[in-house]
Amino acid sequence: MVSYWKHYHTPETVEEAIAALRGYDGRARVIGGGTDLLVETRRGLRRPFEAIVDASRIAGLNTIERDPQHIVIGCGVTHTQIVNDPNIQRHGACLSESCGVIGGPQVRNAGTLAGNVAHALPAGDGSIGLLALAGEVEITSTAGRRWVAAKDTFVGPGKSVIDRHREVLTRLRFKPTGTGEGSAFHRVMRPQGLCLPIISMAARLTVDGDRIVAANVSMGPVGPVPWFAEPVAQALIGGPATDAQYEKAVDVALSNVTLRTSKYRATEEYRRTMVRTYLPIILATAAERAGAKR
């Protein structure tokens, strides 16, 4: 039988996890639910590891909490926990919706949001949901803990600023949507066959009457990293929450992204049509949830 690692550690504290990683000096790898890492390892895309350090069983990091300003998600929290959490459903709807489309129930029961973000794939659905909420991640290493904007962790396809051999993404957080704020996510998929997303998009809007006063938009896969679509957000801010304004945002989005034709996804033309069709719906849903007057 093939062995994919020699040693498997299940630390109960962050300090133990960091100490274990330090002991292997780059030859160990952090794992969450394993739904990406083990699949890749079994397919021979990764060499066997000297050791695995399991971050999913660290005490206190498998819960969803609130601090005075944020909803805080531990690295052991699964997609299922996020989908079922009433606070996230209400105050981070786009994250709940994005985690809800990941894989099937088995994958959602094991896979974590931390793993989705740390994996840094351009189409990571949880990452796209978190980006629209302007989420942040806490990275813990021997040097201590630091909070980093999630958008700044993505370096390239599968590449993250998080050194997954030495550091642990310990928590994720975002400011909950409140009065005058709403968010929404949608993914376009092939109905059958290989399940690669054609396009995933999310938005968070703050409205005052019929005016959009703040916006975040995210999309993927539209380039090497999940896209925090600042130009699209800028096109929305200050304008009315109307279809005409959403069309302007679509134009800005389409002029900024690379939607390549892929036999596993769709043609460029079809993908552009999906952005044109669904981005206005996502924006209108977020605005409606924010209580925009039309």
Binding region for ligand FAD (CB under 6 A): 29-37, 39, 55, 75, 101-103, 107, 110-112, 114-116, 118-119, 124-126, 162, 164, 168-169
Query: Shortest Cβ distance from residue 288 to ligand FAD (Å)?
Result: 26
237 vs 205: CA distance, rounded Å: 9
Q: Which is nearer to ligand FAD, 103 or 224 (CB)?
A: 103
Residue nearest to ligand FAD (CB): 115
From the list 81, 136, 91, the residue with the least C-alpha distance to 111 is 81
Which amino acid, residue 104?
Answer: G
169 versus 290: smaller Cβ distance to ligand FAD: 169
CB of 230 to ligand FAD, least distance (A): 22
Which runs of E-coded beta strand occur in 110-265?
A: 136-141, 144-149, 154-156, 159-160, 168-174, 181-189, 197-208, 211-220, 227-228
Nearer to ligand FAD, 118 or 199 (CB): 118
Single out the residue of 86, 59, 90 nearest to residue 75, CA to CA. Answer: 59
Q: How far apart are CA 225 and CA 158, in angstroms?
A: 8
Q: Least CB distance from residue 99 to ligand FAD, whole Å?
A: 8
- Residue written as tokens 């959009």? 212
* Cβ at position 194, least distance to ligand FAD in Å: 11
Smaller CB separation from ligand FAD, 120 or 284: 120
